[in-house]
Amino acid sequence: MTFVTTAAAEPSPSAPRRARGEQTRQLILETALRLFRERGYAETTMRAIAKEAGVAVGNAYYYFDSKEHLIQGFYDRNQAAHRAAAEPVLTGETEFAARLRGVLHAGVDVNEPYHSFAATFFKTAAEPSSPLSPFSRESSPARDASIAIFRDVVEGSSAKLDPELRKELPELLWLGWMGVTLFWVYDNSPEQRRTRRLIDGAVPLIDRLVALSRLRVLRPALRQILALIESVRRDD
Amino acid sequence: MTFVTTAAAEPSPSAPRRARGEQTRQLILETALRLFRERGYAETTMRAIAKEAGVAVGNAYYYFDSKEHLIQGFYDRNQAAHRAAAEPVLTGETEFAARLRGVLHAGVDVNEPYHSFAATFFKTAAEPSSPLSPFSRESSPARDASIAIFRDVVEGSSAKLDPELRKELPELLWLGWMGVTLFWVYDNSPEQRRTRRLIDGAVPLIDRLVALSRLRVLRPALRQILALIESVRRDD
DNA sequence: GGACTTAGTTGAACATGTTCAGGAAGGGCG
DNA sequence: CGCCCTTCCTGAACATGTTCAACTAAGTCC
């Protein structure tokens, strides 16, 4: 079985030990994601992945703890793509609203091709104990990277806002982004237009709220909100 | 196999045709929910349910399309229990904030015994295409019943508020309740105290916002928000 | 070079959700 | 009663995620 079946990275026996394993891992991941895209998540069997990749079923389990774990690779990729797609806005725009809007739309753009099957495996991410949950320990690198985008949104903007709020805002915006994503998953309007409308409608509201945060009169209300967040976050 | 195995409702052969089937259905559902509670959802096999109920595996599939569909029974029950638990507050309290707070706490109370395994099967509810999704067609009876509770919260309260908002508020509060539930699922603080704190902190804020809705100055902002909701809801 | 270690790989075996061809069994109808 | 239809029920068979004992071979150490 040494003839070339695909042009893709087939592990070459000549490669050094470490690299060889990494090659196999990538091959399995690539194959899996391709099949997920082509047939959907549930319809893709581990046997099919293994066969298509030219390895034994057990080998896939040597590199990935479970079928679900293959999805993590998808997340990592999408996260990087979001960052890249947001880059122009983050370097070009200075107004808070425009930055936020651009970043959110970039996120939707990046996800768009996967909408149909993202919904299919979204369920696995929703389980709190799942490593795929956006709040899980295993997701924390991807999560931190995602929050970093929103920190960039805030810090690179010309908007002046309450310093307390400034500290919390990136994480709150990320949470909002999770909300948008949740909405997006459920949104089956053509081209997910409702999600776009949600973004376009919500961003000005958020912008106005954020601007209001500096008003002396609203200080107590803001403190109350921040205190609530703090108290809810506390884990006891 | 005609000896009595449990004291519970075993289908009596003498019962009329229709009722007999219903009895079996109930028996299977009871058994399933009990085992879910005792062992957890994933750990309970269909074979175990069938064996425990004294029927064949196929029989369970005659009454329930899938293992997930057994959960719907759990929802229906919980919904009714929520209504019942909220009753005292809804008849006794007249202030909006107190009513809302009471209803939300009642909801958490009702769910509390199931927290550990609710999380386990929450994932199945999260899939948009699943009949268990709170937004699905199959869930609409339970959903409508739940929204009705929040309509009661609004209509039975002494609070005066913008008529436009009044129309939308029950559904918005229900959505908020879904948010609280989502938070609750992820909340593993002892006795889910964080969820309680979230409710206690958020209700006054909502109460204040709702009261503000009548201020002339805020009219444009309110209209903007309502328009956003309307536009997002539109399915095109 | 030879013994040893360990990463990498295999495929059969297992567990469990689901299906399905078929078999009772009650009740209506001639 | 005898026939038939529908409801209810059965358990073996199937599909698929996962495990595991065993094997291969690349590297390491003496």
Name, of A80-94, A105-119, A210-224, the range with top average pLDDT. A80-94
Determine the Cα–Cα distance for residues A12 and B163; give it in Å rounded to an integer.
71
The total number of structural domains that make up chain A: 2
* Percent with pLDDT over 90 in chain A: 57
Burial of residue A197, with CB atoms counted within 10 A of its CB: 0-12 exposed, 13-18 middle, 19 or more buried: middle
Q: Inter-chain contact A202–B235, Cβ cutoff 8 Å?
A: no
Burial environment of residue B10 by CB neighbours within 10 A (0 to 12, 13 to 18, 19 or more): middle
Going by C-alpha positions, the residue among B116, B119, B92, B117 that lies closest to residue B106 is B92
Model confidence at B17, pLDDT cuts 50, 70, 90, reads: low
Residue A140 shares a structural domain with residue A39: no
- The Cα–Cα gap between B144 and B79 comes to 10
pLDDT of residue B46: 97
Higher-confidence residue of B90 and B191: namely: B90
Q: Could you say which of B129, B201, B231 has the minimum Cβ distance to residue A119?
A: B129
Chain A contact for B215, CB < 8 A? no
The 3-state DSSP class for residue A211 equals helix
Give the confidence band of A15 by pLDDT, cuts at 50, 70, 90: low
In a domain, A9, yes or no: no
Are residue A57 and residue A138 in the same domain, yes or no? no
Amino acid at position A160, single letter: K
Domain boundary among A5, A36, A65: A65
In a domain, B36, yes or no: yes
B74 and B101 in a single domain? The answer is yes
Which band of pLDDT confidence, cut at 50, 70 and 90, is reported for residue A175?
very high
pTM of the model: 0.84
- Give the integer Cα–Cα distance in Å for B233 and B236: 9
Asked whether residue A140 falls in the same domain as residue A55, the answer is no
Whole-number Å distance between alpha carbons of A177 and A199: 10
Q: Which residues in B lie closer than 8 A to residue A204 (C-beta atoms)?
A: 224
Nearest residue in chain A measured CA to CA from B128: A186
Cβ atoms of B106 and B123 within 8 Å: the answer is: no
Tell me the mean pLDDT in the region A28-56.
Answer: 93
Distance CA B187, CA B193 (A): 8
In a domain, B10, yes or no: no
Residue A135 pLDDT: 82
Choose the final residue of a domain: B65, B91, B106: B65
Q: Would you say residue B108 lies in a domain? A: yes
Span A91-118, average pLDDT: 93
Based on the fold, state whether residues A45 and A77 are members of the same structural domain.
no
Question: Is B217 touching A (CB cutoff 8 A)?
Answer: no
Tell me: do A216 and A100 sit in the same domain. Answer: yes
Q: Please judge whether B122 and A119 are an interchain contact, meaning their C-beta atoms are less than 8 angstroms apart.
A: no
The dihedral formed by the CA atoms of B33, B38, B40 and B45, expressed in degrees to the nearest 10: -70
Task: Encode B145-176: b = buried (16+ Cβ within 10 Å), e = exposed.
Answer: ebbebbbbbbeebebebbeebbebbbebbbeb
Would A217 be classed as within a structural domain?
A: yes
pLDDT confidence tier of residue B83, bands split at 50, 70 and 90: very high
Residue B217 CB coordination number (10 Å): 7
Given 3-state DSSP classes, what are the helix, strand and coil percentages for chain A, each rounded to the nearest 5? 75, 0, 25
State the CATH number of the domain containing residue A89: 1.10.357.10
Contacts of A228 (CB under 8 A, 6+ apart): B197, B198, B201, B202, B205
Mean pLDDT of B216-222: 90
Whether CB of A44 is under 7 Å from strand D: the answer is yes
Q: Are A91 and A152 in contact (CB under 8 A)?
A: no
Domain match, B91 and B122 both = yes
Q: Which two tokens stand for residue B43?
A: 């750990």
Could you give the residue ranges of the DSSP H alpha helices within A12-129? 17-39, 46-53, 57-63, 69-92, 96-111, 115-126
SS3 content of chain B, % helix, strand, coil (to 5): 75, 0, 25
Distance between start and end Cα atoms, chain B: 58
What is the DSSP code string of A14-36? TS-HHHHHHHHHHHHHHHHHHHH
Q: Give the span between the Cα atoms of B42 and A214, in whole angstroms.
A: 50
Report the pLDDT averaged over residues B134-145.
83
| CA A14 vs CA A3, A53, A151, B89, B159: distances in Å | 15, 19, 45, 74, 77
User: pLDDT at residue B157 above 90?
Assistant: yes
Question: Which H or E element spans position B108?
Answer: helix B96-111
Is A114 part of the contact surface with chain B (CB cutoff 8 Å)?
Answer: no
B44-57 pLDDT tens trace: 999 999 999 999 99
Q: What confidence score (pLDDT) does residue B138 get?
A: 74
- Nearest chain B alpha carbon to A201: B228
Please compute the mean of the pLDDT values over residues B160-173 and round it to a whole number: 92
Q: What is the dihedral of CA A200, A206, A210, A211, to 10 degrees?
A: 50
**How high is the pLDDT of residue B50?**
97
Chain B residues with CB inside 8 Å of A232's CB? 194, 197-198, 201
What is the per-residue pLDDT for B133?
Answer: 80
What's the pLDDT at A19? 67
Q: In terms of domains, do A212 and A130 share one?
A: yes
Q: Tell me if A153 is assigned to some domain.
A: yes
Shared-domain flag, residues B207 and B144: yes
pLDDT in the model for residue A186:
86
Q: Which two tokens stand for residue B36?
A: 């879910």
Three-state secondary structure call for residue B218: helix
Inter-chain touch B193–A232, beta carbons under 8 Å = no
Domain identity same for A35 and A117? no
What integer is the mean pLDDT of A4-8?
36
Compute the residue count for chain B.
236
Q: Which domain holds residue A152?
A: 67-233
- Return the top range by mean pLDDT from A21-30, A53-62, A64-73, A126-135: A53-62
Selecting from B120, B126, B225 the residue whose C-beta is nearest the C-beta of A123 gives B126
User: What CATH code is carried by the domain that includes residue A19?
Assistant: 1.10.10.60
Residue of higher predicted confidence among B210 and A15: B210
Interatomic CA distance for residues B224 and B230, integer angstroms = 10
* End-of-domain residue from the set A65, A96, A123: A65
Q: Say yes or no: A85 and A50 in one domain.
A: no
- Is residue A196 domain-shared with residue A80, that is, in the same domain? yes
Mean pLDDT of chain B: 87
